[in-house]
Amino acid sequence: MKFVFEKRKSTSVPALILVPLISFAVSLVLTALLLAIFGADPFKTYAAMAVGAFGTSHGFAETLVKAIPLMMTGLGVAIAFRLKFWNIGAEGQLTLGGVAAAGVALFMERYFPGRSLLFAALFGGLLAGALWAGIPAILKTTLKVDETLVTLMMNYIAILYSEFLYYGPWRDPKGYGFPGSRMFSANAWLPRIMGRAHVGIWVGIALAIILWLVLKRTRWGFELQIIGASQKAARYQGIAVERNIILAVMLSGALCGLAGAFEITGISHRLQQGLSIGYGYTAIIVAWMSQLNPLAVPFVAIALAGLSVGGDQVQMVMGLPAAMGVVMQGLILFPMLAGSLFTEYRFLVVKPEPRAACPEPSQE
C-alpha cells in the first residue's frame, strides 16, 4: 500500500466549501481540549460564547460592530492576497484611515457644512489608507522590496503616529487627562441601526458583492486573475502588471482605511486609544478562510466577530481570559492550511502491483 497525492485538473468545489467548515469544527475541538486542560467545561463555555455573541440583541449588535471592520479589512486583504501581494499592513492602513477621518471631522468642519462633513471624513480615511498602502506597492513593483516586511513595519509607524496625536497635539484639554481627542460634530456621525452597530454593515456587504462582480465580470478583474496566477503570463498578454498591482493594492488599502474611518465616525466619534486592536491581523484569517472570495467574506467576518465577542463574554461569565477568542481564531487557520491540499490534490491509496515499478496512472 502506498499513499499518493495526485494533482486535480481543477480545484474541487466541495472541498472549497467543506474545508473551512471542517477547520472551524477542528478548532472547536482543539479549543475544547485546551479548556478541559484549564479546568473549564467546554460545553458550558461554548454555550456561554454562543449566547453572548448571538443570543441577545445587545450581543448580536456587538458582534456586528466587530464584524464591520473585519469585513472591510478582510475584503482588502483578500484583494491583495489574490495578487500574491502579502499585505499584512491592514492594521496600519486602518489606523491611518481613522486618523485621517478624525482629522477631517475635527478640523475641517467649516469647509464641509452639514452632512457633507461625514462624507469628507470617510473619503479622507479611504484616501489615507490607499496612499499608505501605495508606498509598499510602489517599493515592491519598482525595486522589488519585500512587501510583507514593509507593510508590517508601517503598522508600527502608523500606530505610534496615532498615539502621538491623541496623547499630544489632538488631546482634548477638557478630557481630564484621558488619552483621546475631543468629540467631533454629530454631522460626521455615521447613522446607527442597532445598538452600536452602524450602516457600515450594509456598505460592507454591498462592497463584497461589488468586488465579486468586478473580479468575476470585468476586464480588470480578469487581468488581476491572470496576474495572480502568473505574472509572466500576464506580461506576455500585454497586461500592465506593475500598474495593476499598485492600483489593486491601493484599493486594498482604501478598504482598510475606510474600515478605520467607520470605526471613528460610527463608534468612537473621536480619535482615541483602542482604534488599533488587531482587526487588521484577524483580517488575514478572514481572507484566507473565505478562500480569497469576496462573497464569503461577510459570513466569515460575522463568524469570527462572534468568536471574539463570545470570548469577551466568557471572560465575564466564566473568568477565562478574553484572549481565548483570539486563540480560537488562530487555531482555525492550521486545519484550514492543512486542508487546502485537498482542494488541489486528491488522495489516492495505491496498491503496489507485483513487478510494476511505478504506481499505475489514474483513470481520469
Partner 1 sequence: MDFLTSILTITIRAGTSLTIATIGEILTERSGILNLGVEGIMLMGALSAFTAVFYSHSIAIGLLVAIGVGGLLALLHAFLTTTMRANQVVSGLSITLFGTGFSSFLGQRLGPVANNFRLVGLRAERIVPLAPEWVKQIPIISAFFNQDIITYLVYILLPLAWFFLYKTRPGLWLRSVGEDPQTADAMGIDVTKTRYLYTILGGMMIALGGAHLSLSYTPGWSENITGGRGWIVIALVIFSMWNPARAVWGALLFGGINAVQFRLQASGTSIPANFLNMMPYIGTIIVLVVMTWWEALSKKVGAPAALGTSYMREDK
Residue spans of alpha helices (H) in 230-296: 231-236, 241-262, 279-289
Q: How far is the CB of 331 from partner 1 (least distance, A)?
A: 7
- CA nearest neighbour of 39 among 323, 319, 309, 325: 319
Whichever of 204 and 311 has its CB closer to partner 1, that residue is: 311
**Which string of x and - marks every residue 179-218 that binds partner 1 (by CB under 8 A)?**
----------------------------------------
Whichever of 49 and 122 has its CB closer to partner 1, that residue is: 49
Binding flag, residue 242, partner 1 (CB under 8 A):
no
CB 46 within 8 A of CB 28: yes
User: And the C-alpha cell for 321?
Assistant: 481570559
Binding flag, residue 356, partner 1 (CB under 8 A):
no
CA distance 112 to 114: 7
Residues 6+ apart with CB under 8 A from 316: none
Whichever of 5 and 111 has its CB closer to partner 1, that residue is: 5
Q: How far is the CB of 319 from partner 1 (least distance, A)?
A: 9
Q: Report, in this order, helix, strand and coil percent for the chain, each rounded to 5.
A: 70, 5, 25
Among 29, 316, 338, 352, binds partner 1 (CB under 8 A): 338
Write phi, then psi, for 52 (nearest 5 degrees).
Answer: -60, -35
Residues 6+ apart with CB under 8 A from 156: 92
Q: Looking only at residues 136 through 165 of this chain, which bind partner 1 when binding is defined by CB under 8 A?
A: 139, 143-146, 148-150, 152-154, 156-157, 160-161, 163-164
Binding flag, residue 361, partner 1 (CB under 8 A):
no
CA distance 263 to 101: 9
Size of the site for partner 1 (CB under 8 A): 47
Measured from the Cβ of residue 230, the count of other Cβ atoms closer than 10 Å reads 11
Among 194, 327, 346, 350, binds partner 1 (CB under 8 A): 327
CA distance 136 to 77: 14
CA distance 273 to 266: 15
Between 297-318 and 279-289, two packed helices, what is the crossing angle to 10 degrees? 130
Binding flag, residue 272, partner 1 (CB under 8 A):
no
Q: How far is the CB of 119 from partner 1 (least distance, A)?
A: 30
Q: How far is the CB of 345 from partner 1 (least distance, A)?
A: 8
Among 108, 183, 330, 346, binds partner 1 (CB under 8 A): 330
CB 158 within 8 A of CB 96: yes
Q: Terminus-to-terminus CA distance in the chain, angstroms?
A: 21
Q: How far is the CB of 302 from partner 1 (least distance, A)?
A: 19
Among 104, 290, 324, 343, binds partner 1 (CB under 8 A): 324
Binding flag, residue 329, partner 1 (CB under 8 A):
yes
Binding flag, residue 347, partner 1 (CB under 8 A):
no
Whichever of 150 and 193 has its CB closer to partner 1, that residue is: 150
Please name every residue paired with 80 in a beta bridge, in sequence order, or none if there are none: none
CA distance 118 to 111: 12
Binding flag, residue 88, partner 1 (CB under 8 A):
yes
Among 36, 240, 316, 323, binds partner 1 (CB under 8 A): 323
Binding flag, residue 326, partner 1 (CB under 8 A):
yes
CA distance 180 to 162: 10
Q: Which residues bind partner 1 (CB under 8 A)?
A: 4-7, 38, 86, 88, 139, 143-146, 148-150, 152-154, 156-157, 160-161, 163-164, 167-168, 281-282, 284-285, 288, 320-321, 323-324, 326-327, 329-331, 333-334, 337-338, 340-341, 345
